[in-house]
Amino acid sequence: MSLLQFTGPPVPHYIISGLAYFLPGYIHMNRQHIQVFDLLFVREGCLYLGEEDRRYEVRAGEALILRPDCHHFGTEGCREDTSYYWLHFQTSGTWSPVTVPSASLKAEDTVDECSHSALFDVRTFNLWLSQYMTLLQPARMEELLAQLEQLKVNAHLDSVRFKQQILFQEVLQQLSASMHREQTVSLTTACAEQAASFLRAHYREEITTGMLGDSLNFHPVYIARCMNREYGCSPMEYLLRYRIEQSKLLLMQTSFPIARIAEEVGFNQAPYFSSSFMKLEGISPRQYRQRFS
Q: What is the mean pLDDT of the chain?
A: 89
Average pLDDT for consecutive 10-residue bins of the chain (293 residues)? 88 96 93 94 96 95 96 95 97 85 42 55 86 91 95 94 97 86 63 92 94 91 92 95 95 94 95 96 94 81
Cα angle 121-124-126, degrees, rounded to a multiple of 5: 170
CB contact at 8 A, 71 and 18: no
Edge-to-edge, what's the strand order for the sheet holding 62-66?
Answer: 13-22, 82-90, 37-44, 62-66, 132-134
**Cα–Cα–Cα angle for 38, 40, 41, rounded to 5 degrees:** 150
pLDDT in tens, 198-215: 999 999 999 999 999 999
Among the listed residues 285, 203, 204, the one whose alpha carbon sits nearest the alpha carbon of residue 239:
203
pLDDT reported for residue 103: 41
What was the pLDDT predicted at 20? 95
Please name the residue ranges forming H helices in the chain.
138-151, 158-177, 181-184, 187-201, 209-216, 220-231, 235-253, 258-264, 270-281, 285-290
